[in-house]
Amino acid sequence: MNEIKVAIADDHKIFRKGVVISMRSYSNIKFVLEADNGEELLEKIPEFEPDVILCDLKMPIKDGIDTTKIITKKYPHIRVIILTMYEDERFVGHLMDCGAAGYLLKNTDPAEIKKAITDVMRQGFYLNPFVNKVLIKKKYSKQKFNPSLTAEVVLSEREKEVLTLVCMEFTATEIANKMDISARTVEAIKDRLMERFGVKNSVGLVFYAMKNSLID
pLDDT tens digits, residue range 193-212? 888 877 777 877 887 787 77
pLDDT at position 146? 59
pLDDT at position 88? 79
Cα separation, 75 vs 119, whole angstroms: 18
Low-confidence ranges of the chain (pLDDT < 50): 140
pLDDT at position 212? 72
Burial classification of residue 196, based on how many CB atoms lie within 10 Å of its CB (0-12 exposed, 13-18 middle, 19 or more buried): middle
| Residues contacting residue 176 through CB under 8 Å, at least 6 positions apart | 182, 183, 185, 186
Domain ranges of the chain: 4-139, 157-211
The model carries a pTM of 0.68
What is the SS3 assignment for 136? helix
pLDDT at position 134? 76
Give me the CATH code for the 157-211 domain, please: 1.10.10.10
Burial classification of residue 215, based on how many CB atoms lie within 10 Å of its CB (0-12 exposed, 13-18 middle, 19 or more buried): middle
Sign of the four-CA dihedral 195, 43, 1, 29: negative
What is the SS3 assignment for 84? strand
> The domain 4-139 belongs to what CATH superfamily?
Response regulator (3.40.50.2300)
pLDDT at position 152? 59
pLDDT at position 140? 46
